[in-house]
Amino acid sequence: MSDKGMMEKEEIFSKVLRAGRRTYFFDVRSTRANDYYLTITESKKFTNDDGSFYYKKHKIYLYKEDFDGFREILEEMTDYIVNEKGEEVISERHQKDFKKEYDDDEDTSEKKSAATASTADKFTDVSFDDI
């Protein structure tokens, strides 16, 4: 196969959305017939144990004949999420004071209360004037 066949199609128009460890690339490309299509690439940064990093990429190819259906479902899904949960981000990763709810394990809250009580019993008041 020639180098031209192996190369990624030339980008006609591009936009980038940086979102924390993720970056989204929106690229308009040209088909062999000189028509346009869209690629959406999610690139996510990961760190190796040695401190070096690498990226994992996932790509979606979206052709004009699918635009209307894709747009309708994307809008329906995003509207559903915002209507059900609002626009505020609620997650451990985005909020330092996030408290996980344990509806499925009532035992967990009892264990946490017991652990907190026993920790409080073991607390010793220290005077730093002695140091």
3-state SS, residue 89? coil
Exposure on the CB side of residue 104, measured as CA atoms within 13 A: 1
* pLDDT, tens only, 12-41: 999 999 998 899 999 999 999 999 999 999
For residue 126, what pLDDT is reported?
46
Are 36 and 50 in contact, with CB atoms under 8 Å apart? no
Residue 45, both tokens: 């940064």
What end-to-end distance do the CA atoms of the chain give, in Å?
Answer: 76
For residue 11, what pLDDT is reported?
72
For residue 60, what pLDDT is reported?
97
* pLDDT, tens only, 29-73: 999 999 999 999 999 988 999 989 899 999 999 999 999 999 999
Pure H helices in 36-92: 67-85
Q: How far apart, in Å, are the Cα atoms of 40 and each of 24, 28, 50, 107? A: 7, 9, 30, 44
For residue 61, what pLDDT is reported?
97
Asked if residue 129 has pLDDT above 90, the reply is no
φ and ψ at residue 77, rounded to 5 degrees: -70, -45
Asked if residue 123 has pLDDT above 70, the reply is no
CATH class of 7-86: alpha beta
Q: Where are the domains of the chain?
A: 7-86
The residue count of the chain comes to 131
Asked if residue 75 has pLDDT above 70, the reply is yes
